[in-house]
Structure 1
Amino acid sequence: MAPALEQADGRWAWVVLLASLVSQALTVAFPSCIGVFFADLMRDFQASNSEISWLPSIMGAMLHAGGPLCSILVKRFSCRVAMMVGGVLASLGMVASTFSRSLIHLFLTAGLVTGLGMCFSFQSSITVLGLYFVRHRPQANALASIGISIGVTLWPLLARYLLETLGWRGTFFLFGGIFLHCCVCGAILRPVATAVVPEPREDPPLLPKTPTRSCLATCVSAIQHHLAFDILRHNMGFCIYVTGMTWMLLGFPLPHIFLVPYALHHGIDEYWAAMLMSVIGFCNIFLRPIAGLLAGRKSLAAYRKYLFTGAILINGLTNLICTVSADFWVLLSYCLVYSLSMCGCGILIYQVLMDIVPMDRFPSALGLFSTLCGITSLISPPLAGLLLDATNNFSYVFYMSSCFLVSASLFLGVGFYAADKKLKREDGQAKMEPTASEITPMGGLTSEDKDRTKRQLCPENMYVTSV
């Protein structure tokens, strides 16, 4: 028996929103607690900061770079299958990492396998929101991103408590069981339907036989489709977004990874150091719904991307506070200010992408964006670790983060402004040219031709999407 189809913006959509929120709390927020384990991992594996930094970098890279595989899973099966497969992979990776006797084994299990599983669960939770919500899509994205804030609040505290009780191996084993809750979230995703009637049309003529494409040509075509290279070539806004965000992510994750080690290095108590990341997450729990309501206003729809670039700029400048002093109250002030800018970045990062590309190509666009972000996420923490080992000064890490964020915000702001000016200029030229209706009036058409023309100009389509 086929499952009942759910309407977009219907009642079940809010249940799906809750599942997306929990999934994001379990996946995207998880790397924020890895800094708690740095000292124990360095001691057990006799490793340096730069070597241990590869664990969150590999995990973060796979969290993004698995996007094309997730896109294929979503289109071939459904968001439900992708999320449940992700939960199983993330759980297996964490359980297998408890048996690690070398850093390579730890990187392959906790980094590669768990990161890929988190990618499947996270990106399918983002895609399903675009399918379930139409009118309330900005608000839905903002509310779902509260899950990241909840995760950032709870993961470091839970990790600190379990580390003292069970050690890092026992903690990772328990984390494997927690990741299985992504399977429960995936089971909630039911098929969704959009109300449209198929366009009346005549039977298409038989197409002439075309030669069968080679295997290489088929693979290249599939890669171009799933990585949205066609959008990249023809959509200037998407090109600007991808370039700027790739550059930005060289600096954005660094405070999340190095804030707790920075506090510990300057003698702050372990619990208070872990509390700093929790403060950022706790503030975002209340800030994101308010920001989501503001971002969802129709009057601000045209300015969302500029609000986004402003949030990135403030986020980069905020990191300079950490370079002033390592006193607990200074760092606490930093966390409070940082949470404001992080809120703006978090609720708009995917909403701006949905505004730039058509929703039917969003999974492919997200796949390309995630792949490039995965490369930068793989490079950024080890570079910061090398800088830290060479200077033994955490301030340079925050300088590095601020530099990438500020320069990326300037590039995005100028690029979006130039793209809008070009679009307005093209629209003005198009209005000055005579339209087809002025050249060929409908007066010479029969009533049947007029009806057919109207149907072609205003088609009403119905698409049934299995989520």
Structure 2
Amino acid sequence: MVRALERAEGPWAWVVLLASLVTQGLTLGFPTCVGIFFTLLQRDFQASNSETSWFPSILLAVLHAGGPLCSILVGRIGCRATVMMGGLLASLGMVASSFSRTLSQLYITAGLITGLGMCFGFQSSVTVLGYYFIRRRVLANALASMGVSLGITLWPLLSRYLLDDLGWRGTFLVFGGVFLHCCVCGAVLRPVATTVAPEPREGPPLPSETQVPGCLVACGRTVQRHLAFDILRHNARYRVVTLGMVWMIVGFPLPQIFLVPYAMQHGVEEQQAALLISIIGFSNIFLRPLAGLVAGWRTFAAHRMYLFSLAVLLNGLTNLLCTVSADFWLLVGYCLVYSVSMSCIGALIFQVLMDTVPMDRFSSALGLFTILESISILISPPIAGFLLDATNNNFSYVFYMSSFILISAALFMGGSFCALQRKERQGRQAEKEGAIMEAAPEQELFLEGTDGPGKRPCPEIMYVTTV
């Protein structure tokens, strides 16, 4: 344990940071290029918008829903083996998807298997940063999230380059080899990083009743250890953050999925449409570290939730620009403004979670958060696809929907956090006044005796004013 603490924020921590950066780029950056294949998959499988949109929704949902399973694996075999296992699964899913003959097979291979592999790689790389970095944790999270920006920049360009020569099947086959780089990144994570974290603390034991089988008690303790329901029940800050982010996620991924088909529908060439996503990613490379540095200042340490809510609000307002026009240069301006809010959200989302729970419970809190988040991700693209089918492919309604959800989520989180702070301030003030009253000595009134210098207690006098 002492050796592990000595290595925290040491030279090897920056190597781990680089491995986490690459892993996040390979995993979280990949779903942003799915929109490039949306039209091709829809045409090849003769599917509707809602049917095709299940592919990215399953991929993203499994990417986030596998959090509890990832938490168990990290506790059992460590971050190194979990990341390497994730790389193998993601590679296997993409290779198998290149041979898919039906859309249902694609759901299982590229959606379920690849999504689960990306989940193992991504969440383990986020968890390990919390153990290697203490004082510079905000900066480390922001720098690691640059990998997502690099992924958003390079995945669409690579997809567009391979798609012209290999088609989507050959491109998915090459992607299987690309995901094997997660195994290299996982090998960098020394097991000593996992020993920094204390042993998972079990919550209060469940009531042992004779009629309840022992296996159910063990299952209940396991769920409580890896899914932080106790924190959700007792920690108001975590509850506000979780509910607000879960609602936010319903609208957040929609522009990244439907921006490319929207631009192509209005006459923008395929190369230029793919470039729009790369512009967002390239801008995030510089904006995310800047957002992390600003959020790490002491001035903003107690106000990160407000910064996060402001970024979500700006993101929702920015999406309204797409409803004005589909001109290429206007969409370029939209991507630049969108990148500002997206970089703040990406740099702060995990730090805000870390600020609300103890670090030894972060893995289980992240697992519960991702389970709830996956529900939003699973239903978000199909709802948008159904909206497109019902409106004859009018993408403006998708961006209206995204704006409404993001703006309402921002107002909920900001307003709730302000109310919680006011309540906590009043509680501290009441406790302070109570402590002062308890510390005050009891006062006794004395009368000087008439027979000498001695004093005797003055009897209590009660005046009756009403009958």
Q: Distance in 1 between matches of 2:102 and 2:144?
A: 37
Q: CA deviation at 1:218?
A: 1.4
Which residue matches 1:377? 377
Aligned 8 A contact 1:8 1:193 in 2: no
- Alignment-mate amino acid for residue 429 of structure 1: A
Which residue matches 1:50? 50
Q: Which segment is superposed worse, 306-315 or 283-292?
A: 283-292
Aligned 8 A contact 1:35 1:260 in 2: yes
Which residue matches 1:355? 355
Which residue matches 1:453? none
Measured against aligned partners, the alpha-carbon deviations of 1:223-256 in whole angstroms (never above 9, x if no partner) come to: 1221100101110000001111110000000000
Aligned 8 A contact 1:7 1:194 in 2: no
Q: Distance in 1 between matches of 2:188 and 2:338?
A: 34
Judged with a 3 Å threshold, the aligned counterparts in structure 2 of structure 1 residues 296 and 164 are, in CA distance, closer, same or farther, namely same
Equivalent runs, 1:40-79 vs 2, <5 Å: 40-79=40-79
Q: CA deviation at 1:293?
A: 1.1
Matched, 1:224 2:249: no
Q: Distance in 2 between matches of 1:320 and 1:236?
A: 32
Which residue matches 1:289? 289
Which residue matches 2:181? 181
Query: TM-score, normalising length from structure 2?
Result: 0.88
Q: CA deviation at 1:427?
A: 1.8
Which residue matches 2:415? 414
Gaps (5+ residues) in structure 2?
199-207, 441-467
Aligned 8 A contact 2:131 2:196 in 1: no
Judged with a 3 Å threshold, the aligned counterparts in structure 2 of structure 1 residues 177 and 196 are, in CA distance, closer, same or farther, namely closer
Aligned 8 A contact 1:60 1:115 in 2: yes
Helix, strand or coil at the partner of 1:250: helix
Identical counterparts, % of pairs:
64
Judged with a 3 Å threshold, the aligned counterparts in structure 2 of structure 1 residues 278 and 425 are, in CA distance, closer, same or farther, namely same
Which residue matches 1:119? 119
Matched, 1:329 2:329: yes
Which residue matches 2:403? 402
Query: TM-score, normalising length from structure 1?
Result: 0.88
Which residue matches 1:237? 237
Aligned 8 A contact 1:98 1:170 in 2: yes
Q: CA deviation at 1:210?
A: 10
Q: Distance in 2 between matches of 1:394 and 1:43?
A: 18
Aligned 8 A contact 2:131 2:197 in 1: no
Measured against aligned partners, the alpha-carbon deviations of 1:238-294 in whole angstroms (never above 9, x if no partner) come to: 000111111000000000000000011111011000000000010111111222111
Aligned 8 A contact 1:95 1:176 in 2: yes
- Alignment-mate amino acid for residue 175 of structure 1: F
> In terms of Rg, which structure is larger?
2
Measured against aligned partners, the alpha-carbon deviations of 1:53-105 in whole angstroms (never above 9, x if no partner) come to: 11100000001100110111111221111111111111110011111111111
Which residue matches 1:275? 275
Q: Distance in 2 between matches of 1:118 and 1:214?
A: 34
Q: Distance in 2 between matches of 1:51 and 1:355?
A: 39
Matched, 1:430 2:431: yes
Which residue matches 1:307? 307
Q: CA deviation at 1:195?
A: 8.8
Q: CA deviation at 1:405?
A: 0.2
Helix, strand or coil at the partner of 2:251: coil
Q: Distance in 1 between matches of 2:118 and 2:422?
A: 39
Judged with a 3 Å threshold, the aligned counterparts in structure 2 of structure 1 residues 196 and 262 are, in CA distance, closer, same or farther, namely closer
Aligned 8 A contact 1:91 1:180 in 2: yes
Q: Which has the higher contact order (CA 8 A, sep 6+)?
A: 1
Aligned 8 A contact 2:25 2:149 in 1: yes
Judged with a 3 Å threshold, the aligned counterparts in structure 2 of structure 1 residues 243 and 270 are, in CA distance, closer, same or farther, namely same
Helix, strand or coil at the partner of 1:135: coil
Q: CA deviation at 1:193?
A: 8.0
Equivalent runs, 1:338-349 vs 2, <5 Å: 338-349=338-349
Which residue matches 2:389? 389
- Alignment-mate amino acid for residue 326 of structure 1: A
- Equivalenced residue count is 426
Measured against aligned partners, the alpha-carbon deviations of 1:338-386 in whole angstroms (never above 9, x if no partner) come to: 0001011010000000001000000000000000110110000010011
Helix, strand or coil at the partner of 2:51: helix
Q: Distance in 2 between matches of 1:192 and 1:263?
A: 45
Judged with a 3 Å threshold, the aligned counterparts in structure 2 of structure 1 residues 182 and 438 are, in CA distance, closer, same or farther, namely farther
Aligned 8 A contact 2:64 2:370 in 1: yes
Q: CA deviation at 1:213?
A: 5.6
Which residue matches 1:148? 148
Aligned 8 A contact 2:309 2:411 in 1: yes
Aligned 8 A contact 1:8 1:194 in 2: no
Q: Distance in 2 between matches of 1:368 and 1:387?
A: 29
Q: Which segment is superposed worse, 157-166 or 187-196?
A: 187-196
Helix, strand or coil at the partner of 1:385: helix
- Alignment-mate amino acid for residue 432 of structure 2: K
Aligned 8 A contact 1:36 1:156 in 2: yes
Judged with a 3 Å threshold, the aligned counterparts in structure 2 of structure 1 residues 20 and 32 are, in CA distance, closer, same or farther, namely same
- Alignment-mate amino acid for residue 400 of structure 2: Y
Q: Distance in 1 between matches of 2:299 and 2:320?
A: 33
Judged with a 3 Å threshold, the aligned counterparts in structure 2 of structure 1 residues 134 and 213 are, in CA distance, closer, same or farther, namely farther
Equivalent runs, 1:125-204 vs 2, <5 Å: 125-190=125-190, 191-192=192-193
Q: Distance in 2 between matches of 1:323 and 1:157?
A: 26
- Alignment-mate amino acid for residue 354 of structure 1: M
Aligned 8 A contact 1:63 1:115 in 2: yes
Gaps (5+ residues) in structure 1?
198-208, 440-467
Judged with a 3 Å threshold, the aligned counterparts in structure 2 of structure 1 residues 341 and 177 are, in CA distance, closer, same or farther, namely same
Aligned 8 A contact 1:263 1:273 in 2: yes
Q: CA deviation at 1:399?
A: 0.3
Which residue matches 1:317? 317
Aligned 8 A contact 1:7 1:193 in 2: no
Equivalent runs, 1:247-258 vs 2, <5 Å: 247-258=247-258
Which residue matches 1:200? none
Q: Distance in 2 between matches of 1:140 and 1:38?
A: 34
Which residue matches 1:102? 102
Q: Distance in 1 between matches of 2:196 and 2:244?
A: 36
